[in-house]
């Protein structure tokens, strides 16, 4: 007997931090709102309202650049405590539908609604009901993708943002995938995208012409996953969050760099991202590791065990920069940078009474 076809929903809140700010302060509605580092600081944009996106502002953009693109935007410092609260309410709505909820960040989760507590048969109707509750109870909007696996559900939710609902039934999947731009595939970042485009592979249809061997040659282990996804196959189950041993993020640079300032900008973005995931998991890191891969593919990892576990991006950035300074560069070019937080401890175990501003004098 075959397993029944699953019903998977991926939901992602629209412009999450910015929408919460606009919701709570009506004078911000309809305006370009940027949440994150303030202009003049070295911080990055966490997110911005759709009105701000029209000016080319986006997540991870340095705040100074955001200011140049739209000087009349309203810049707001993130209120993580508030977003965490709202996130809990959102996840609460998801869990009232099914126990099979897998959060990916504060504002996004996979749901397996094959069997659900509301007894709704149609996954599309289930997604509508979730969106309706988010609107009614939280006065916020979300976008949802509905399909029979995670890959397609996630692509669906990003397809018609904001406030979208995209259903990809099995019979429509291949046609949808064939038209999908290469950059939308799981694990295809900017660098891999360029590589594919250079080979004339622009969408799913092009990608599907490659053999498993060719794909593995081009992008290693990820090739096997792509081979399956482009055929509409993705058996990953929806798993409610397992406790993590470490949280890491790395980036392959689009061009190899040797300039310290450029590297520190990347480190800043990585610190931000690792910090965000620590916050979401309510964990502090006792150890921070920096990985540097050079253009000749040799690599160095350096770690520091910190006296006081860290979570905020400024502290992580400070430690990572210290590590970067300790790596002998010898004029080499860097092609990849990564930061991993480990020795994770729970919120309450860490001493947090000392204001971290003391540590930010770099
Ligand atoms: N976030 C962040 N830094 C990033 C990306 C996101 O701090 N580089 C935060 C702010 C976002 C939230 O996480 O509000 C959710 O991230 P999303 O990628 O889902 O972005 P948004 O919800 O803001 O916008 P949308 O999903 O509508 O594109
Ligand atoms: Mg979102």
- Superfamily in which the 1-168 domain is placed by CATH: Reverse transcriptase/Diguanylate cyclase domain (3.30.70.270)
| CATH no., domain 247-349 | 3.30.1490.100
Pocket residues for ligand 1 (CB within 6 Å)?
A: 12-17, 46-47, 59-60, 105, 107-108, 161-162, 272, 276
One DSSP character per residue, 214-243 reads: HHHHHHTTHHHHHHHHTTT-------PPPP
**What ligand 1 atom has the least distance to the C-alpha of 161?**
27
- Rounded Cα distance between 103 and 277, Å, is 11
Whole-number average pLDDT of the chain = 93
pLDDT in tens, 337-351: 999 999 999 865 544
pLDDT in tens, 108-167: 999 999 999 999 999 999 999 999 999 999 999 999 999 999 999 999 999 999 999 999
Q: Top-level CATH class of 173-229?
A: mainly alpha
User: For the chain, which residues make up each domain, given as ranges?
Assistant: 1-168, 173-229, 247-349
- Rounded Cα distance between 304 and 339, Å, is 11
From 47, 104, 164, the mutation candidate for ligand 1 (largest count of ligand atoms within 8 A of CB) is: 47
Reported pTM: 0.84
Quick one: which H or E segment has residue 309?
A: strand 299-310
- Rounded Cα distance between 341 and 325, Å, is 18
| pLDDT at residue 3 in the model | 67
DSSP 332: P
């Amino acid at each position: 007997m075959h397993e029944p076809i699953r019903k998977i929903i991926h939901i992602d809140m629209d412009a999450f931090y910015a929408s919460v700010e606009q919701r709570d302060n009506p004078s911000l509605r309809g305006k370009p709102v940027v949440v994150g580092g303030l202009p003049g600081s070295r911080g990055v944009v966490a997110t911005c309202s759709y009105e701000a996106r029209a000016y080319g502002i986006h997540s991870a953009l340095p705040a100074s650049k955001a200011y140049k693109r739209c000087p009349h935007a309203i810049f707001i410092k993130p209120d993580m405590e508030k977003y965490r609260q709202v996130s809990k309410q959102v996840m609460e709505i998801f869990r009232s539908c099914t126990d099979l909820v897998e959060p990916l960040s504060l504002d996004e989760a996979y749901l397996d609604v094959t069997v659900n507590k509301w007894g709704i048969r149609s996954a599309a109707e289930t997604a509508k009901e979730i969106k309706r509750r988010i609107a009614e109870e939280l006065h916020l909007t979300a976008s949802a993708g509905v399909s029979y696996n995670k890959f397609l559900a996630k692509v669906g939710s990003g397809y018609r943002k904001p406030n979208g609902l995209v259903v990809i039934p099995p019979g429509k999947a291949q046609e949808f995938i064939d038209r999908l731009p290469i950059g939308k595939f799981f694990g295809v970042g900017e660098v891999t995208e360029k590589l594919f485009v250079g080979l004339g592979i622009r969408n799913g249809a092009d990608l599907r012409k490659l053999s498993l061997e060719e794909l593995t040659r081009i992008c290693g282990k990820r090739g096997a996953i792509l081979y399956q996804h482009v055929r509409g196959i993705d058996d990953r189950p929806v798993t409610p969050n397992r406790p993590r041993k470490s949280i890491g993020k790395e980036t392959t640079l689009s061009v190899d760099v040797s300039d310290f300032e450029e590297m520190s900008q990347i480190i800043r973005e990585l610190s931000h991202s690792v910090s965000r995931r620590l916050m979401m998991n309510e964990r502090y890191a006792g150890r921070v590791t920096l990985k540097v891969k050079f253009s000749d593919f040799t690599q160095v990892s350096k770690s520091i065990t910190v006296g006081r576990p860290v979570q905020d991006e400024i502290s992580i950035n400070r430690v990572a920069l210290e590590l970067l300074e300790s790596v002998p560069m010898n004029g080499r070019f860097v092609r990849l940078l990564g930061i991993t937080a480990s020795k994770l401890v729970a919120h309450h175990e860490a001493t947090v009474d000392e204001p971290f501003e003391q540590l930010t004098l770099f």
